[in-house]
Amino acid sequence: MVIHYYHEHSNHIGVMHVLSLMRDKFWAIKGNAAVRRVLSRCIRCRRAHGKVIEQLMADLPPDRMELGKPPFYCNGVNLFGPFFVKRGRAQIKHWGVIFTCLNMRAIHLEEASNLKSDSFISVFRRFLARCGQVKTVRCDCGTNIVESRKVLDSSYEFLVENKVPNELPRCWVEFIFNPPGASHFAGAWEQLIGTVRRVPDIVIGTQQLDY
Ligand SMILES: [Zn+2]
């Protein structure tokens, strides 16, 4: 009761302070431990300073663990920006596109001139031309990527229906979309965007660059 009294009347202050206030009048045997024990049970202190339980992490998705595959076999993709670019006297926006290999975390950077699906498809074609066989691409539900997937799917089906194939099944790329609003699903490449952005942010600063 004495410890409680001093603790509450000093507005829930810490162990050593309570001990020193108390020692003006009382000498508690094994005081330190006693104060600690009482304070550890104080509900208001536990609410204010208690340790939060850590979130359990789910298993990594299987494509983070595709060992022995070529680089960029399983990817994450995201857009970042915009970067302001000078065209004549106008100022237009350009976006960066980052592809990340989910195994070895290599990155491939591209540039998108707008947020439309045709621009993304061009980016994706340039990426495939350089980095070869791709199995999966993970991304968020950006409208340009969702739209691009539809276009790619329908053109793929068209080619299969018209018997162009043989080589085609190897070109099939599976898009896996993260749930909307779950940006923590994309931690692997959001982190790398931060790293990529750091350099131009410092080097370019507020300068205006042309294309
Ligand atoms: Zn307290």
pLDDT per residue over 45-69, tens digit each? 988 888 888 888 888 888 888 888 8
Residue 208: per-residue pLDDT: 82
Q: Answer whether residue 188 shows pLDDT above 90.
A: no
d(CA 52, ligand 1 centre) in Å = 17
pTM attached to this predicted model: 0.70
d(CA 16, ligand 1 centre) in Å = 13
Instruction: Characterize the bridge pairing of strands 90-101 and 74-87.
Output: antiparallel
User: Which residues are registered as beta bridge partners of 137?
Assistant: 75, 175
d(CA 140, ligand 1 centre) in Å = 45
Distance of CA 80 to the CA centre of its chain: 12
What residue ranges define each of the domains in the chain, with the CATH number in brackets?
Answer: 2-49 (no CATH), 62-210 (3.30.420.10)
Do residues 77 and 189 touch, judged by C-beta distance below 8 A? yes
* Tens-place pLDDT, residues 154-172: 888 888 888 776 666 566 7
Residue 165: per-residue pLDDT: 64
d(CA 23, ligand 1 centre) in Å = 18
Report the alpha-carbon distance of residue 18 to residue 36 in Å, rounded. Answer: 10
- 41: nearest Cα among 12, 21, 20, 17: 12
- How high is the mean pLDDT of the chain? 88
